[in-house]
Chain A
């Protein structure tokens, strides 16, 4: 085919420009480490990456939620462990108080210690977490949950709400217990319920009257049961969170691997492509110079 002089020149130049553009793209890919620089590079992969980013970020958020849930349940668990210890101590004191050899003065001394213990339980029940929320107030976390009218009557000001946190795509975990379930519903041993504070108050009154009730131990045992049961559900919930956290971790790992496969650059392939492109550009530059130098006019 007959070629025109300007066509020879144009073709060589545009071939070089194209090679330069390819080279620049490879270089950008290597600089960013990404195979997909804009959606048009691979529309299906780009969309999938957006979806994956979203799931990965959400899963990371679930881990944050889990940390938070874990912290809140640990706080509650610590508080309830303390409550259990205090009640255990009161039980020991009650056992000792039942000893017939004790004098009224001895019983008064025991009553005094039980009163300290009552104060301790009352304070623990009104405990606040690190962010100032009352642990046992239900949803009313800025309302002090338990109040005392000064004459031995205790009321619950909270409600029965229990906060749940999202720790997995399909899993919510309760991160608390309403105060009235934990402190207000102790079996009084005579067919009704009594709250923990009035129960302790009753024990104190009986001791001060030098007339310890045999029912005290029954009540204390059922109070300890309530605390223990609540603690075991907390343990179960923390196990759930741990299991979910592990599941989230491995899920997230798989997704990140998927995302990497979709959008990350295969450096080995990119480097060899880069070398090839440089070689091709150099070849076309050298051949351009040689061909442009050829002319019949050189011989006239």
Chain B
């Protein structure tokens, strides 16, 4: 074509046409997610050497490129992962936050109403209606624990379905990215190395979607493909091949989903703990750091309430004169086998006051058992040898090893997880509420001294004195003063002929004294205290509280449990135990909310940076449209001028 004016004009027309097309492409994709603004790169065509030197030969389009900055894109991916992680955590957290302190769904109110009803029974222990109200409140309380536990369980199922959904989505995206890798390599090769802009945008968008689910890193390959890694280097995409993630049930617990990757040998390698960032990381974090401790804390409150009310109820006497039956049933420790024989570790509560909301891992390695706290992996010291007679004891839990283990045996122990879910009220009717104490004390009407005897407080209901014959004290005792400072203790089973048990026990009228344990070591499982100055012949006695239906001593003790520091090694009451759950949930939710907000800001900035570089601005495109339209018109004018010049030549030779 040479450096003719026509050629130059045509080159301009072609190139400006191309530029206008690209502007059109930009305008049309102004709302396309992930689209990067494209520009036609122009340069001069190779000039020709002629007489005076180099004569320009017009314009050419070198390449169509997209406005893209790899650093900004990587930054955007990172902030997308973080924002999605905290948002997922926060969304799940609010589900606990909204229920634990609510007056309808929380258990604080129900606990309060139970203890108030207990006070009403203590006001009027023979009132059938007060007892029925207490029974209803107890039923309502255990129901409320069940409800909240099942809400927690719902959230757990939601977590599992999130995990499953996220993994499926990750696999879909990985496959799509691998496909795009293949296409990009092919197309760029075919075009002689021009960037496949639209495909590149699509791939970047998919990777950004992927980073919303899990934090990823990318490695650019020479052929134009991108390798994608998740977590701490788990390969999701290599070139045109995608690896799939799988979910699996952890240690036989259908409530606990793990994430794994198929290794080369076909084995599933667990990578749950390596996963970080994105919705998946946020969901797993929520489960491990908030849902598990909260579920355990709820169970802990239920177990504490159930156990301490039961202990006191057992130490009391119901309206029919029988020792109290258990008031509540609560969930027992959960044991899951990771490796080894199922059921080889039997876990029971040793001392509820020492329990906390931890889960544990018990492992047999190098010939010894080791207990570690889940999450922190802190080693927990155990006493005992693990036998039935001398079980391992740690943090309020007793562990018995049933059969010889092998190295590598491992169990997950969750002492309080089921505490609330399995709670039940056990009493059949209001008569079974043990409002009375099973003993009473008497001072003989004929006493002439000033001595008095305390009403008596049960210290050990399992003492033979209470357990030998139901509904009786074995034996009732008679205390007879033989001097102002000495008394004898008799078995008063037959008041007509008391049998001496221990004689000559010293008494100090100035201080008074406890009857049990006697100097001879007799202990009948209750405290009895004599004070004042009895005289010779004065008698005191203790007996079973037969007919004592108006006694409210045990109801008062049960009601008093509301505020007794019976839990957490004597540092927290039952109420405190629940309010610390509320506080933990509130604080964790608040933190998640703040992190989610600040990560949202960071994401906004990263998005702005990307939009600033790659986004389409319609005003800019309109200006370019005018510019290239004018240039196109000018180039067309060149052709018209060349045409006229050619006419001049033609006309000059036509004669």
Query: Does B575 lie within 8 Å of A4, measured CB to CB?
Result: no
Determine if B618 and A296 form an interchain contact, defined as CB atoms under 8 angstroms apart: yes
- Give 1 or 0 for each of A185-208: 1 = CB within 8 Å of chain B CB: 100000001000000000000000
Closest CB in chain A relative to B603 CB, distance in Å: 11
Mask, B81-114, CB within 8 Å of A = 1, is 0000000000001100110110000101101110
B121 to chain A, nearest CB (A): 11
CB distance from B369 to the nearest CB of A (A): 38
Q: Provide the bound-state CA to CA distance between A227 and B554, in Å.
A: 30
Does B551 make an interface contact (CB < 8 A)? yes
Roughly how many angstroms separate A274 CA and B93 CA in the complex, as a whole number? 27
Asked whether A5 and B616 contact (CB < 8 A) given A47-B583, A50-B582, A58-B115, the answer is: yes
Please give the distance in Å from B179's CB to the nearest CB on chain A: 27
Contact A193 B445 (CB under 8 A): yes
| B567 → chain A closest CB, angstroms | 15
Contact of B575 among A49, A54, A163 (CB under 8 A): A54
Residue A25 at the chain B interface, CB threshold 8 Å: no
Q: Flag whether B590 is at the interface (Cβ < 8 A).
A: yes
Contact between A6 and B30, CB atoms less than 8 A apart = yes
Q: Are B607 and A139 in contact (CB under 8 A)?
A: no
Q: Is the contact region of chain B dominated by helix, strand, or loop, or is it mixed?
A: helix
Given A38-B101, A50-B578, A58-B116, A139–B551 Cβ distance below 8 Å?
A: yes
Contacts of A57 in B (CB 8 A): 112-113, 116
Q: Tell me if B645 counts as interface (CB < 8 A to partner A).
A: no
Asked if residues A6 and B98 are in contact (CB atoms below 8 Å), the reply is: no
Q: Which residues of the partner chain A approach B30 to less than 8 Å between Cβ atoms?
A: 5-6
> Which of chain B's residues have a CB closer than 8 A to the CB of A126?
none
CB <8 Å contact, A64 and B455: no
Nearest chain-B residue to A164 (Cβ)?
A: B556
**Complex formed: what's the CA distance from A157 to B441 in Å?**
15
Asked whether any CB of chain B lies closer than 8 Å to the CB of A243, the reply is: no
State whether the Cβ of A300 lies closer than 8 Å to any Cβ in chain B. Answer: yes
A235 to B563, CA, bound (A): 30
Contacts of B441 in A (CB 8 A): 160
Asked if B277 is at the interface (CB within 8 A of a chain A CB), the reply is: no
Contact B562 A137 (CB under 8 A): no
Q: How far is the CA of A109 from the CA of B442 in the complex (A)?
A: 41
CB B347 to nearest CB in A, in angstroms, measures 31
Known pairs A46-B583, A193-B445; A142 contacts B101 (CB<8 A): no
Select A139's contact among B548, B576, B578, beta carbons within 8 Å. Answer: B548
Tell me whether A143 and B547 are in contact in the complex, defined as CB-CB below 8 angstroms, given that A47-B582, A50-B579 are known contacts: yes
Does B429 belong to the interface (CB within 8 Å)? no
Q: Which chain A residues border B612 with CB–CB below 8 Å? A: 1-4, 7
Residue-by-residue, is A22-65 near B (CB-CB < 8 Å gives 1, otherwise 0)?
00000000000000001111111011011101100110111011
What residues of chain A have their CB less than 8 Å away from a CB belonging to chain B?
1-7, 11, 14, 38-44, 46-47, 49-51, 53-54, 57-58, 60-62, 64-65, 68-69, 131-134, 137-143, 159-166, 169, 172, 180, 184-185, 193, 295-297, 300
Given A4-B612, A159-B545, A163-B550, 20 more contacts at CB 8 Å? A4-B617, A5-B619, A38-B97, A39-B101, A41-B586, A43-B589, A53-B108, A131-B127, A132-B126, A138-B550, A139-B548, A140-B547, A140-B548, A141-B126, A142-B547, A161-B548, A184-B445, A295-B622, A297-B618, A300-B622
Q: Which 6 A-B pairs have the closest CB atoms?
A: A4-B615, A39-B586, A141-B550, A43-B586, A40-B589, A139-B548
